[in-house]
Chains A and B, each alone.
Chain A
Amino acid sequence: MSTGVVSTARLKALLQAGVELELSTIPPYLCALYSLRPMTNAEASLVIRSVVVEEMLHMVLAANVLNAIGGEPHVADGHAPRYPHELPTGVVLHLLPFSREAVDTFLKVENPAHPHRALEADHPLLAGRNHQRHRARCLDVDEGFHPASIGDFYHEVIRELEAAAADIGERTLFCGDPTRQVTRDYYYAAGGRSILVGDLDSARAALNEIVEQGEGDMGAMFDDDGDLAHYYRFQQLRDGRSYRRSDDAGAPTGPPVEVDYDAVYPMIANPRSEEYRVPGLQAAAAGANRTWSELLLQLDAAFNGRPAALLPAVHSMFKLRDQSLVLLANPMPDHPGRNAGPTFEWDPSARAELGMRL
């Protein structure tokens, strides 16, 4: 008897968790990026930007695989991430301004071989009432599955795809409507290209792309094109020194890399709009959250049959940046020395309004 129904249900849950996992890494990078004062930290800005666009590509690739097997990738409503956010690696993502702490977190995120470590028993996330809502969904797909790393998670998805294809047949498994795939017409400029998924090979290619881009070959610092892997670019920021081609990993000897941690808007960690007491900040946060929610709705539409919704999503990204900069440039009167920042909270009213236009 075929177990097809059961295995694609788990697969779809895994891939939906993958989409959310990739989405959850984006706001922390954006906070660090937007917190850099204009005309400063050029190198940090380029590195963070190049990574965040790759995370966006990963989300698109995971969505393409899910669409290929007849799923419906979602990123809006309850799928929007909440911060702090626990990843399967045990790394907790915070919304932080660019700082040594943020760079250390990025190094852990960019190193999916980072060994899984359960949160310490006294971790504040565990004490919170809503821990469940602050952790990656892939930790909870089923009770018996505890991925040790992000790479591990995707390898499980690939194994599951292979098993399902063997079980119900590749054709039956990849029953998705090809017009739901996000093509390079609408997705671009992310250090990689969108991959159309319609069979096992292309699904493997898409998921391996995610793993390889994130993980890289931790042994080889420079890729085939001669480009330094992201992990090492973050190391250059951390160490303030660049790598030469002949250098060993961990010991850069090149010219100094200029990093100015003071040329940063001092955003409070994990801001929440309810903390903003000043009407101006409240309005700015509401505006930024509305835009963030619109962006998620546009992505949701793009993943569900309307890939052209990615065109206005570009405008939303610019708008989100500008609104975030307003928050970042303004001090919080009740937190001396600290500025406000984007809170990346889902605005439930956005759907009713934007739904009409989408």
Chain B
Amino acid sequence: MTEDQRYDVVVVGAGVNGALVAKCLTGRKLRVLLLEAGPAAAWTFDGYVKRLDDFYGVYAKGPEAPWPAAVGAPQPDTHDVRTGGGYFVQKGPHKYASSYTRYAGGSTLHWLGVALRMLPEDFSLHSRYGRGRDWPLGYADLEPYYRKAERELGVAADVADQAHLGVEFAPGYDYPMRRIPPSYSDQMLAATVDGMRLSLGSEEFALKIRSYPAARNGIPRGDFVPDGAVDERTDGQALGRDIGQRCQGNTACTPICPVQAKYNALKTLAKADHRYLHLVTQAVASRINVDPASGAVQSVEYKRYTEADSPRHTVHRATGRVYVLAAHAVENAKLMLASGLGNRSGELGRNLMDHPCLYAWGLMPSPAGAYRGPLSTAGLDDLRGGAFRARHAAFRFDIGNDGWHSTTGAPDSTVADAVYTRNLFGKQLRRHLGSNLSRQIRFSLAVEQLPSADNRVTVDPQYLDPLGNPRPVLSYRIEEYTLDGMAAAAEVARKVFERAGITDCTNPDEGTWFPSVEHGDEVFHYHGMGHFAGTHVMGDSPETSVTDPDQRSWEHRNLYVLGSGSFPTMGTSNPTLTMAALTLRTADRLVAELAS
């Protein structure tokens, strides 16, 4: 085993949380070792373009297509959900249908870029509605860090659109960039849907098609300078940085923005002070060693591989004053469980959540310009909050600009249907495709899920990866609260379609395969949103939580565990902005502690 020199902080994971903490700490001249399990393929523009070329070349353009796993750092793959194979060991009863990416940059390499704040009521779900848990923090505690996170990630939005459902902004504040212009279909939908009234139980709601905040480059406000592509070449030949300073509407945000106009964590990492940062990629943290008497972490062991296609590796040990796990909700929990860390509350690995998501798709009454613009620019989020949350889950709709691509594999499947089923050719075929493709519209119905002790990550010595590290064993059930939310969401989608004159074509049997769950007479086909959360929940007491409100382990005081795994509940916002805000808050505390 090779001993590394001692650092101020050893950080595990170079995704958004690891990058943010590395940038904050090195900015204060603290020496950081950053261990990343995966490769650093996108660290230079050349490297990124190679990933892009590979993506163009493959037929199946799933979220993982440009980001194949290294043997030493396997990752879940959405195709595996169907086959039951792959990295996750799924114990059921339902399939956990999301994936993540083990690369420097993490899953921000293929996220959509939605950067919503959580609602104030999301932080106190239990005291307000008797459901889930309360956070040990409130919206007001995080608000300043939301502002910081919006600047770090480069979020484009207008406060005028976002100040609703109790979300308040500091006086005079607006987002660093103006909102991304609404797509043509957003505008068409707004013309018919805005002002539509509907009720959930006894509550009345008025709907509005609303742009949502996106970590995607638009027109800057004030002195903000949008970050273009990452190009960390040191030979004076970096030319990629000029690219991607504005979104070009390539409609390929996931799995890979061709120009990096969308935020990825490497943009943050590139701005860390490299004099104090030691980034080691292809280095898989495999064990946390603890002093049995004090509980203090003494070192992190990691396995380093040089070839992405081979399990051959060497073992190293890194030491620091403080240790930070920022490896992903599942990987953090897995590493802590595999290292036998303290688990007084019994909550470690439990409360695994996602936003199980249904699709609704149809044809707009007239051409709506599908397949243009970012994958999604607006949504319906009026039903993210309300008293109905005492009874069933809240939900949020994304409105797609990519036709039926995600639901049926269009446009290819639309062409195949026209040729093989409808026997169209020549002018008729062109007319059919011209009319059909541009009218395609898709809603994603993302539904809230509550923390549950039975939904969990565990490790089992009989399931190991090629490096001998444990594979995550998942138990996952979608409970009544969420199923009732799915039913309500599907009903609202039907009403909105009707109001907008959309011909409902939702038919999971003809769509792309997704796992299903039964609810009474109904069968819901759902997919994951990649919103893993809840595996190392934060709280006010070591009896009921894994970390304190600063994401500091109750039982190992020089260990911080970052990310959406700390979330007690997740509401309906995608977790990235909130975990970035939490990380920036923790980084402030770390700097204060280490400076003293």
Contact at B239–A314, with CB atoms within 8 Å? no
Q: List chain B residues, Cβ under 8 A from A46.
A: 45, 239-240
Query: Does B245 make an interface contact (CB < 8 A)?
Result: yes
| Among B35-43, B230-238, B345-353, B548-556, the stretch in contact with A | B230-238
Minimum Cβ distance to chain B for residue A50 (Å): 5
| Among A108-116, A211-219, A220-228, the stretch in contact with B | A220-228
Q: List chain B residues, Cβ under 8 A from A47.
A: 239
Contact with A along B239-278 (1 / 0, CB 8 A): 1101111101000000000000000000000000000000
Can you pick out 18 interface pairs between chain A and chain B where the beta carbons lie within 8 Å of each other?
A39-B56, A42-B49, A46-B45, A46-B239, A49-B239, A53-B242, A185-B219, A186-B219, A188-B246, A189-B228, A189-B242, A222-B236, A226-B236, A227-B236, A243-B236, A244-B235, A245-B236, A254-B235
Q: List chain B residues, Cβ under 8 A from A244.
A: 235
Contact at B239–A50, with CB atoms within 8 Å? yes
Picked from A184, A189, A190, A228, the residue with its CB within 8 Å of the CB of B237 is A228
**CA–CA, A142 and B45, complex, Å:** 47
**CA–CA, A188 and B248, complex, Å:** 13
Question: Which residue on A lies nearest to B243, using beta carbons?
Answer: A189
Contact at A50–B242, with CB atoms within 8 Å? yes
Contact at A227–B242, with CB atoms within 8 Å? no
Q: List chain B residues, Cβ under 8 A from A233.
A: 237, 239
CB interface residues, A 21-73, toward B, < 8 Å = 39, 42, 46-47, 49-50, 53
Q: List chain A residues, Cβ under 8 A from B240.
A: 46
Given known contacts A39-B53, A42-B49, A46-B45, A188 and B239 CB-to-CB distance under 8 angstroms? no
Q: List chain B residues, Cβ under 8 A from A273.
A: none
Query: Does A145 make an interface contact (CB < 8 A)?
Result: no
**CA–CA, A242 and B233, complex, Å:** 13
**CA–CA, A50 and B238, complex, Å:** 11
Q: List chain A residues, Cβ under 8 A from B568.
A: none
Q: List chain B residues, Cβ under 8 A from A245.
A: 235-236
Size class of A's contact patch?
A: 20 to 34
Interface residues of A (CB under 8 A from B): 39, 42, 46-47, 49-50, 53, 184-186, 188-191, 222, 226-228, 233, 242-245, 254, 314, 318
Minimum Cβ distance to chain B for residue A209 (Å): 15
Question: Which residue on B lies nearest to A257, using beta carbons?
Answer: B237
Query: Does B136 make an interface contact (CB < 8 A)?
Result: no
Contact at A227–B238, with CB atoms within 8 Å? yes
Q: List chain B residues, Cβ under 8 A from A189.
A: 228, 242-246
Contact at A242–B237, with CB atoms within 8 Å? yes
CB interface residues, B 36-76, toward A, < 8 Å = 45-46, 49, 53, 56
Query: Does B15 make an interface contact (CB < 8 A)?
Result: no
Given A222-B236, A228-B237, A254-B235, 10 more pairs with CB closer than 8 A: A46-B240, A184-B220, A188-B226, A188-B245, A189-B245, A189-B246, A226-B234, A228-B236, A245-B235, A318-B248
Q: List chain A residues, Cβ under 8 A from B45.
A: 46
Contact with A along B15-45 (1 / 0, CB 8 A): 0000000000000000000000000000001
Question: Which residue on A lies nearest to B217, using beta carbons?
Answer: A188
Q: List chain A residues, Cβ under 8 A from B53.
A: 39
Contact at B242–A190, with CB atoms within 8 Å? yes
Question: Which residue on A lies nearest to B226, using beta carbons?
Answer: A188
Q: List chain A residues, Cβ under 8 A from B248.
A: 314, 318
Q: List chain B residues, Cβ under 8 A from A39.
A: 53, 56
Q: List chain B residues, Cβ under 8 A from A222.
A: 236
4 smallest CB-CB distances across A and B, nearest first, come from A189-B245, A228-B236, A46-B239, A188-B245
Q: List chain A residues, Cβ under 8 A from B228.
A: 189
Given known contacts A188-B226, A189-B228, A242-B235, A42 and B46 CB-to-CB distance under 8 angstroms? yes
Q: List chain A residues, Cβ under 8 A from B246.
A: 188-189, 314
Q: List chain B residues, Cβ under 8 A from A314.
A: 246, 248
**CA–CA, A50 and B239, complex, Å:** 7
Q: List chain B residues, Cβ under 8 A from A226.
A: 234, 236
**CA–CA, A317 and B220, complex, Å:** 21
**CA–CA, A191 and B237, complex, Å:** 13
Minimum Cβ distance to chain B for residue A308 (Å): 10
Picked from B46, B56, B219, B242, the residue with its CB within 8 Å of the CB of A191 is B242
Minimum Cβ distance to chain A for residue B353 (Å): 39
Question: Which residue on A lies nearest to B241, using beta carbons?
Answer: A191
In this complex, the member of B45, B49, B242, B248 whose beta carbon has the largest number of chain A beta carbons within 10 angstroms is B242
Minimum Cβ distance to chain A for residue B260 (Å): 11
Minimum Cβ distance to chain A for residue B158 (Å): 15
**CA–CA, A228 and B235, complex, Å:** 9
Minimum Cβ distance to chain A for residue B474 (Å): 39
Question: Which residue on B lies nearest to A254, using beta carbons?
Answer: B235
Question: Which residue on B lies nearest to A51, using beta carbons?
Answer: B239
Q: List chain B residues, Cβ under 8 A from A228.
A: 236-237
Question: Which residue on B lies nearest to A54, using beta carbons?
Answer: B242
Minimum Cβ distance to chain B for residue A253 (Å): 12
CB interface residues, B 371-413, toward A, < 8 Å = none
**CA–CA, A186 and B178, complex, Å:** 12
**CA–CA, A310 and B219, complex, Å:** 12
**CA–CA, A184 and B219, complex, Å:** 8
Q: List chain B residues, Cβ under 8 A from A242.
A: 235, 237
Question: Which residue on B lies nearest to A192, using beta carbons?
Answer: B242
Q: List chain A residues, Cβ under 8 A from B236.
A: 222, 226-228, 243, 245
**CA–CA, A11 and B52, complex, Å:** 48
Q: List chain A residues, Cβ under 8 A from B245.
A: 188-189
**CA–CA, A254 and B236, complex, Å:** 12
**CA–CA, A184 and B236, complex, Å:** 26
**CA–CA, A242 and B45, complex, Å:** 17
**CA–CA, A228 and B220, complex, Å:** 28
**CA–CA, A22 and B228, complex, Å:** 25
**CA–CA, A191 and B235, complex, Å:** 18
Question: Which residue on B lies nearest to A185, using beta carbons?
Answer: B219
Question: Which residue on B lies nearest to A193, using beta carbons?
Answer: B225
Q: List chain B residues, Cβ under 8 A from A49.
A: 239, 243
